[in-house]
Amino acid sequence: MGTGLDLPLDSVLRGDCIESLKRLPPASVHAIFADPPYNLQLKTELRRPDDSLVDGVDDAWDRFDDLATYDRFTREWLTECRRVLRRDGTIWVMGSYHNVFRLGVALQDLGFWILNDVVWRKSNPMPNFRGRRFTNAHETLIWAARGEESRYRFNYAAMKSMNDDKQMRSDWLIPLCTGNERLRGPDGTKLHPTQKPEALLHRVILACTAPGEVVLDPFLGTGTTAAVAKRLGRRFIGLERDPGYADAAEARLATIEPLSESVALALPAKREQPRIPFGALVERGLVPPGTKLWDRHRRWQAEVGVDATLRCGRVAGSIHQVGAAVQEAPSCNGWTFWHIERRDGTLRVIDELRAELAPGS
C-alpha cells in the first residue's frame, strides 16, 4: 500500500521506543524482535498506573505497583508493535522467568497468536553461586503471529537444513555472547549488560523472514538484531533511547557487509517451488497414456488416461482422488502414493519424475 516509503529503513531511531513506534506506518514490518528491559532498572524508566512518574529511590513501591507498572509498559509497546506489524508478520519477544510470563499473557490478551515458545539453552551459563536454586541456564523466546488466522512465514526447510536435516526443535543450544563478539569500551568493560549472541539472531531472522524484508527491534541496545539483519540481506529499523548504545550500534553497523544474494538466499522449500501438474508428465511422454501405476505394495493398480486422469476399476479422477478412493482415505498425495515400474521390474515413485521437469535440470 505504499506505506514503505515512510519507513526509516536501515537506521537507528533515538528516543523513547513507544514514541518512535507511533511514528511508524501501520502494517509495515515483516518481523519484530524485542528483548525488553526488566528487573529493577525498570523502576527508573516507568510510570505508575496513575501515570505519575516513578521515583527510582521510592521505597514505598510494593510488589503490586511494580508488576502493574511493568504490565502497563509491556502492553503499551506491544500494542504499537502489533499496529506496525504486517498481517503476515511475526514477533519474537524474549525474557527470563522474572518477566516472560507477563510478556506471554500480554501477547495473548492483545490478540497475538503464540506459535512456539523457544528455549535458548546457554552452553556456558553463570553458575548459581549461593547454591539455593537450579543454575538458571536458559531464557525463553516467544514466537507469535499477529493473529490466529495469520498466514505467517516459517522457513521450514532452512531450519531443517540448519539442524542436519531434522526438524528444528523448540530448544536451542547457543553460547553466551563472549570473546571478540562482545562489544567493549576502551577500558575493556562490556558496553551492554545483556548483549545477545549473533547466532541467536541468525536463527531467529532466518526462520521467519526473506531477504529484503524488514526487521524491527524496539529495544536495539548495541545493535545485534540490526547487525545480523544487515548481514543476512534484510532491512532493519532499530529503536534505542540510550545515546551511548545507539552510538555503539551505529558504529557496529558501519562495519557489517551484507552477504552476497546467492549466499543469503536459503534453499526454497518444496511448497515454494513452482507446481508441476501430473498432466505435464503425460504430455512430455514421461508417463505416456496407458501407463500402469502401482502403489508401493502393489496392492492397487491404475491406468493413466490421455487426459492425465487415473482409472482403477470403477474409480476415475486425479492421481490424488484415485489414491484416496482406493485406500478409502480422506485424502492422498498421489505424487508419493503412485509408482511406475522400471524395466527391471522395480518401482519408482512418480514424484521423482517431477524433478526431471524442474527448471535447471
Partner DNA sequence: GGCATAGATGAATCACAAT
Partner DNA sequence: CATTGTGATTCATCTATGC
Q: Binding to a copy of itself (CB under 8 A): which residues in 128-147?
A: 128, 131-138, 140, 142-143
Residue 345 interacts, among a copy of itself, DNA, none and using kind-specific CB cut-offs from 5 to 8 Å, with none
Answer yes or no whether residue 325 interacts with a copy of itself by CB under 8 A: no
**346 touches DNA by CB under 7 A:** no
Q: Cell digits for 352?
A: 521423482
What DSSP state is assigned to residue 223? Answer: T
Q: Which of 15, 41, 35 is nearest to 243 (CA)?
A: 15
Which residues in the 83-102 window bind a copy of itself by CB under 8 A? 96-98, 100-102
Of residues 12 and 159, the one with the C-beta less far from a copy of itself:
159
> For a copy of itself, which stretch binds (CB under 8 A), given 126-134, 238-246, 294-302, 340-348?
126-134
What x-and-dash track marks residues 229-268 binding DNA by CB under 7 A? ----------------------------------------
Q: Does 119 bind a copy of itself (CB under 8 A)?
A: yes
The interface region with DNA, picked from 24-32, 34-42, 229-237, 284-292 by CB under 7 A, is 34-42
Per the structure block, which three cell numbers stand in for 190?
Answer: 562490556
Window 54 to 93, contacts with DNA (CB under 7 A): 54-57, 62
d(CA 100, CA 38): 10
> Does residue number 345 form part of the binding site for a copy of itself (CB under 8 A)?
no
Question: Residue 206 interacts with a copy of itself (CB under 8 A)?
Answer: yes
Looking only at residues 272 through 331 of this chain, which bind DNA when binding is defined by CB under 7 A?
275-278, 318-321, 331
Q: Which of 248, 256, 238 is nearest to 12 (CA)?
A: 238
| Contact of residue 244 among DNA, a copy of itself, none (CB under 5-8 Å per partner type) | none
The three-class DSSP label of residue 283 is helix
Phi, psi of 255 (to 5 degrees): -90, -10
Write the binding mask 145 to 164 for a copy of itself: x where contact by CB under 8 A, - elsewhere: ---x-----xxxxxx-xxxx
User: What is d(CA 292, CA 54) in angstroms, rounded to the nearest whole number?
Assistant: 78
Q: Tell me which residues in 258-277 interact with a copy of itself (CB under 8 A).
A: 259-260, 262-267, 269, 274-275, 277
CB 206 within 8 A of CB 159: yes
110 binds a copy of itself (CB under 8 A): no
Residue selected from 149, 187, 307, 344 as contacting a copy of itself according to rule CB under 8 A:
307
**x-or-dash string of contact with DNA, 155-194, rule CB under 7 A:** -xx--x----xxx-------xxxxxx-x-----xxx--xx
Q: Are 357 and 276 in contact (CB under 8 A)?
A: yes
Q: What span, in angstroms and rounded, lies between the C-alpha atoms of 144 and 116? A: 7
Q: Give the residue from 69, 78, 31 showing the smallest Cα distance to 50.
A: 69
Residue 185 in 3-state DSSP?
coil
Residue 128 lies near DNA (rule: CB under 7 A): yes
Alpha-carbon Rg for the chain in angstroms: 27
CB-count exposure of residue 351 (10 Å: 0-12, 13-18, 19+): middle
Instruction: Give yes or no for residue 130 binding DNA (CB under 7 A).
Output: yes
| Residue written as grid cell 502493574 | 68
CA dihedral 250→251→252→253, nearest 10 degrees, is 50
